[in-house]
Amino acid sequence: MKKNNLLAGILLTGCIVLSFAGKTQRIPSYIPSNGFWMIVSHINVNNEATVQCYNDEQVLIYEEKISGRKLNLKRKKTLRCLKVVLDQVLAAFNADKHEITDKHWIAAAIK
């Protein structure tokens, strides 16, 4: 009888530990680890926005004007494309150390 209670206690403890271990939050694949991007749009102008990329020190490193297409920020594919371009821009900025403008990387990535 005591062995059954001990075994049940060990199993219960193991289940509790495993349930807490499974609750760790994963960071979504579209969240950048370095830097950030910002969308600037105008209320009166449809299908036109400016995407600005910043490094961790909040220095503008890339800016691209997107016109003729709407950026749907609710789509994970759009967010992943922006993250890929941000990583590309950060690598180019770290190599040259100056702002990059209108390379049309975002327009090419979001089709």
pLDDT score for 105: 84
Mode of pairing for the β-strands spanning 100-101 and 60-67: parallel
pLDDT score for 85: 92
Residues 68-85: what's their mean pLDDT?
Answer: 90
pLDDT score for 52: 92
> What residues does each domain of the chain span?
36-109
pLDDT score for 110: 81
Residue that wins the pLDDT comparison between 97 and 68: 68
Say how far apart CA 89 and CA 95 lie, in whole Å: 10
pLDDT score for 74: 92
Say how far apart CA 26 and CA 42 lie, in whole Å: 34
